[in-house]
Structure 1
Amino acid sequence: MSKEIKRELEKIEIPLELHPRVKLGVAKAKQEAIEDVRPTKDTRQLSYKRNKKVAGIAAASILAITLSSGFIHPGMNQVLASTPLLGGIYEKFGDKIGMHLAEQNLVTELDQAITQNGITVKLTNVYFDGDVVSITGNVSGDLSKDHNEPGEVSFDVNFENNKGDNDPWLNGKSASLQEAATGYDFQWKLNYPYKDMSEEFTLPISIHNINGIKGDWNFNVPITQEQSKALVINQSQSYDNDGVMITIKELKHAEATSTLTFETISTFKGDHIDLGKAMDENGTVLFNHANNTRLSSGKVDEGYQQALRISIDKIAEGTKAITFYPKVSIADPTVQQQLTTSSFTLESERTDLAIEVHSVKQEGDKLILDYHFQGLAEDMSNHKFEIIHHNLSYAFTLVDKDFVDKIDPENPVPPEGHSITRNEVKVIDKNNHQFQAVFDLKGEERYKNFSLEDAVLQMDFYSFNGTKELAPFTVELPQD
């Protein structure tokens, strides 16, 4: 509640015709509202006001009573006319969670504004529910100095004093923008990135430039949510033939959402295991292809472990069981062949896919390979074929044999000047999956001193393996 509203509440005279109990409630509400006022401490980043439940309910009581009685203080009438509905900003962005939390007075109002180099950034509201942090604000000023299209605003921003892309708050960050009366309203949604969740903290925000305009728009945003109810589950499901184990660890219920923490273990390095969908015992879909937050990963005795958290719609009270539909994206080690022979086969180590090369020849500055892609589905759709055709442009790497061992497997960047990572794909026989790869030896990626005898052809099957759906499994939820 703003201080202006609280000042006007202080001025309200209680109508004589109100019932004594109502008069007592209004008087108490006025006192609680007045006591909630706190002095501002920062003159550059103005004050913030947390919407406490008691103050919110008190204000709502006064407004309801005064409106129903036909009595509105002139000063209060002016304040009400100039005070926007808090949930309106979330309705503008189609954020049902924000709308619900605004109704429950669980959104923190901010009044932090900074102007630099003709650009003003004002942060207006923040909420924290489950593992979702939402920050709304407005940006205005001369935003046309960069090469952005009209109606486009780009922020170079970091959180918690991190720098560049090495910022865990940027993983899964989404941004929405809407034109406003002055400038643009924006909403950032962040996933809380840490395993141990703090329910009250301050989040530093550093905006380095806006549409290429440099500055230091630095804020400290207070973030809080009410304590969540946690259900410890610890139920596991194994898929021995696929080298996969999934453990549902914990389910937490916040005000508007629920969060699920689970752990995956794979025998194979690089496999990506996920929960594609979940349904309760009544057939209600709880989530479908939602984004995860990775909390930890590493090598354990059983294989390669990841701890993940997913935010979903709030699960109804009394839900007894949840059925999960897992899936796995199969990793595949890169295979290679030195080009000392003109015919050979590159075979996937984990699938039935294979590249059978029929000929290798150099024509001037071009290296040409004719090959048959084995193991693809015979009844492939045109859309699927187009995807494969596109992916083949990046599936091969041509590299000097003296540099193969210098490529970091954890960050496989090909050596500049001694490799080519893209080829032109020509379809020889679509029905029989026969293709031709053409490498430009003196194109954008130059291969210095190329010779067939010293060249190695590498193949990555990962983008062709697809995702395998695993059998669904059901966990029983602990009941109070």
Structure 2
Amino acid sequence: MDKQWFNDEVNKIDVPKEELNIAIQKGIARAKAEKPVKKIHKKRRIALLTAASICIGVLGSGFVFPQMTRVLADVPLVGKVYSYFHDSIGQNLSASKLVTELNQQAVSNGISVTMNSVYYDAGRIGITFKVDNPEEVFMKNNSGRGFYYDFKLVDGSEKWGRAASFDGKITKDGWLGNIHIDYPEKELPPNTTLPITITSIGDTKGIWKFDIPVKQLENKIIHPQVSVSSEDTEHTLNFEKITVGKSSIAIDYKAMYPLVGENDLARIGKVTDDKGNEIDFKTSGIEFGREKVGNQIQSDERSIFGKVPEDAEFIALHPNVRLSEKPSIQDLNQKTPFEIQSTRSDFKIVVNSIQHKKQKLILQYTLQNVDTKHISMDELINRGEVMNLIDSSYLDKEFAPIGHVIKGSNVKVLDKEKLQFQATFQLDGEYGVKNFSLKNYVLEVEMLPYHPEKTLPSVKIPLK
């Protein structure tokens, strides 16, 4: 940190000198009591402890310096924090001194939280923070390995909620938090500030507000304008933009779906470099909105992968599509056998018999036209176990309450060659149903899991 810059910024702030001196002395005492993680040259140790004492003392006093935001010069702890969360992007950027240091502190209900660092690279934001005095946190379920917390991003909308993932770890370096945000907009505006409000730590409620400055690192933009379609031409992906960041890569594409597949999911299954090495997967299928255009559904989407080798001549994208289909609802008192036909393929389930015996419902069924090359027997059993029994009076509701639904069954194989199975539903017990009858309950069958992924041709994108 530049000394003159620091002095200039501090001089702008009206700080009670007596309180500041007390805070600094406390910080010095705390710093002397701490043992360094690894050996440091004596002279360097004195310099680091002095700087740490001042920072800890000032920040520990409750003052907030939002302007103390600088690119890291040499702070190994930041990279170590990212390693706790297996954040390879953060680790790589930290090693290259491309992570932005944050010294923003907020105090609520006696608990101090300090935001430590942030990066934005090719569509992903990474943030780290530390709980400064965890001994003040009340937590009912303390495993000693991690802590839980809740927070609100920007306006707290669902869009921002879906974009975030987070974790908290209890380490020898303290209580550390990590928040990942797959930026839910196509472009990051210049001079972006990201409001974050932590609303609870453990079981302690509070309001810890921060304004995080986010800046895009220098990157390379490629506009390949390459399209690829499925063999049946139902699905098309147009690759419009590739952002090659310092430690990650963002792939923007427009996916076209048939109307019957308005909820299908086009994804980049994997990315490989010119030597066939697979690039680390980060996230796939960030959607910026779907709309009907003619006889298609169009969706602007993004997938994020890890660092591409600097000497790579090209990357290969390997897309796929997951077909969607609404659950099939069947009356239990209809005559057997009856067929449950997929609306997306020739797959079907033949229900051979339904028997209601005391507190059990036993259903025998046969699968036909199943892609057994891509779906194993264990997977077929698991798919059968997600069938449900639902009180028909709740079909128009968002969900049926306990006592009016049986979630899942036990499935066994009757004939492996003929793909014949038996599903047994337990009607009583803690999660049983009241007043069950074949007339008043229906069978809900998820058809989606029986569809294998539809593989699209791979696409080569030159990088040079």
Give the shorter-chain TM-score range: 0.7 to 0.9
Where does residue 297 of structure 1 map in the other structure? 290
The separation in 2 between residues aligned to 1:300 and 1:429, in whole angstroms, is 46
Distance 1:223 1:475, change over 3 A: closer
8 Å Cα contact 1:158-1:207 kept in structure 2: yes
Alignment deviations for residues 143-165 of structure 1 (CA, whole Å, 9 cap, x no partner): 453223222200111111316xx
Where does residue 147 of structure 1 map in the other structure? 141
Task: Give runs of aligned pairs for residues 100-115 of structure 1, distance below 5 A.
Answer: 100-115=92-107
Where does residue 131 of structure 1 map in the other structure? 123
8 Å Cα contact 1:262-1:309 kept in structure 2: yes
Task: Give runs of aligned pairs for residues 11-22 of structure 1, distance below 5 A.
Answer: none
> Does residue 247 in structure 1 map to residue 233 in structure 2?
no
Task: Give runs of aligned pairs for residues 48-447 of structure 1, distance below 5 A.
Answer: 78-82=46-50, 85-94=74-83, 95-139=87-131, 140-142=133-135, 143-162=137-156, 166-175=158-167, 177-181=169-173, 183-241=174-232, 243-267=234-258, 268-288=261-281, 290-315=283-308, 321-338=314-331, 339-376=333-370, 384-400=376-392, 403-404=394-395, 406-407=396-397, 413-414=399-400, 418-430=404-416, 432-444=418-430, 447=433
The separation in 2 between residues aligned to 1:208 and 1:461, in whole angstroms, is 40
The separation in 1 between residues aligned to 2:255 and 2:462, in whole angstroms, is 19
The separation in 1 between residues aligned to 2:409 and 2:250, in whole angstroms, is 44
Gaps of 5+ in 1: 8-32, 45-71
Deviation at 1:468, TM superposition (A): 2.8
The separation in 2 between residues aligned to 1:317 and 1:179, in whole angstroms, is 34
Alignment deviations for residues 175-220 of structure 1 (CA, whole Å, 9 cap, x no partner): 3525134x32232222111122224211111111111111111112
The separation in 2 between residues aligned to 1:456 and 1:447, in whole angstroms, is 13
The separation in 2 between residues aligned to 1:171 and 1:97, in whole angstroms, is 17
> Does residue 452 in structure 1 map to residue 438 in structure 2?
yes
Alignment deviations for residues 340-378 of structure 1 (CA, whole Å, 9 cap, x no partner): 213212222334433222221222343222222334466
- Percent of matched pairs sharing the same residue: 25
The one-letter amino acid paired with 2:80 is: E
8 Å Cα contact 1:273-1:329 kept in structure 2: yes
8 Å Cα contact 2:323-2:454 kept in structure 1: yes
Give the alignment's TM-score, normalised by structure 2.
0.76
Distance 1:302 1:282, change over 3 A: farther
The one-letter amino acid paired with 2:341 is: E
The separation in 1 between residues aligned to 2:438 and 2:6, in whole angstroms, is 83
Distance 1:280 1:106, change over 3 A: closer
8 Å Cα contact 1:340-1:452 kept in structure 2: no
Distance 1:474 1:302, change over 3 A: farther
Distance 1:317 1:228, change over 3 A: same
Query: Tell me, what secondary structure is at the counterpart of 1:97?
Result: helix
Distance 1:448 1:169, change over 3 A: closer
8 Å Cα contact 1:106-1:225 kept in structure 2: no
The one-letter amino acid paired with 2:156 is: N
Distance 1:351 1:79, change over 3 A: same
8 Å Cα contact 1:246-1:265 kept in structure 2: yes
Distance 1:380 1:270, change over 3 A: closer
Distance 1:137 1:398, change over 3 A: closer
The one-letter amino acid paired with 1:107 is: V
Distance 1:213 1:195, change over 3 A: same
The one-letter amino acid paired with 1:438 is: T
The one-letter amino acid paired with 1:79 is: A
Where does residue 66 of structure 1 map in the other structure? none
The separation in 2 between residues aligned to 1:351 and 1:273, in whole angstroms, is 18
Q: Which moved more, 1:102-111 or 1:339-348?
A: 102-111
8 Å Cα contact 2:163-2:183 kept in structure 1: no
Q: Which moved more, 1:453-462 or 1:262-271?
A: 453-462
The separation in 2 between residues aligned to 1:229 and 1:377, in whole angstroms, is 41
8 Å Cα contact 2:280-2:307 kept in structure 1: no
Deviation at 1:253, TM superposition (A): 3.1
The separation in 2 between residues aligned to 1:34 and 1:442, in whole angstroms, is 69
The separation in 2 between residues aligned to 1:169 and 1:334, in whole angstroms, is 27
Gaps of 5+ in 2: 17-41, 53-73
Distance 1:227 1:175, change over 3 A: same
The separation in 1 between residues aligned to 2:282 and 2:129, in whole angstroms, is 29
Where does residue 473 of structure 1 map in the other structure? 459
Number of residue pairs aligned between Structure 1 and Structure 2? 411
Q: Which moved more, 1:439-448 or 1:88-97?
A: 439-448
